[in-house]
């Protein structure tokens, strides 16, 4: 298995942190922008895209702040993806921070995928 590299991205989003958290942490919220459908049973989330399914384990969740998953394919690794809400103390600007891993030759592709998904999220939230 190839070594994956960690990458981080920041997306300013003009929306309240509590509303944003609903869209990044609930199956119904994530079904609107992240995948065609999202189901959860306890700590196990199933993401469905055009008929293909991927399962991820919920590693941690801090209400109003962050959610962290690990794909079951990566079960024996330290790889994860995390969505974290950051609010600037002074300006109160809200950003969604993404941490993810990809194989070295797929990082640009991974970033592009996140950019497309976050632009969908912004459209849904009226923050585009």
pLDDT at residue 87 in the model: 97
pLDDT confidence of residue 128: 65
Give the pair of three-digit tokens for residue 74: 């990566």
CATH no., domain 4-125: 3.30.530.20
pLDDT digits (tens, 9 = 90+) for 50-70: 989 999 999 999 999 999 999
Every domain of the chain and the residues it spans: 4-125
Residue 1 binned pLDDT confidence (cut-offs 50, 70, 90): low
Average pLDDT over every residue of 34-45:
95
- pLDDT above 70 (res 124): yes
Sign of CA dihedral 57, 61, 82, 36: positive
**Whole-number Cα distances in Å, 101 to 41, 55, 71, 105, 124:** 25, 16, 11, 11, 26
């Amino acid at each position: 298995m190839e070594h994956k590299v960690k990458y981080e991205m920041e997306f300013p989003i003009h929306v309240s942190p509590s509303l944003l958290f609903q869209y990044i942490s609930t199956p119904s919220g994530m079904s609107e922008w992240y995948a065609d459908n999202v189901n959860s049973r306890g700590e196990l989330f199933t993401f469905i895209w055009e008929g293909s399914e991927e399962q991820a384990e919920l590693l941690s969740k801090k209400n109003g702040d962050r959610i962290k998953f690990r794909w079951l394919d990566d079960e024996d690794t330290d790889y994860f993806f995390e969505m974290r809400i950051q609010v600037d103390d002074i300006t109160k600007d809200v950003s969604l921070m993404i941490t993810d891993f990809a194989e070295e030759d797929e990082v640009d592709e991974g970033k592009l995928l996140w950019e497309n998904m976050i632009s969908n999220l912004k459209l849904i939230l009226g923050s585009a």
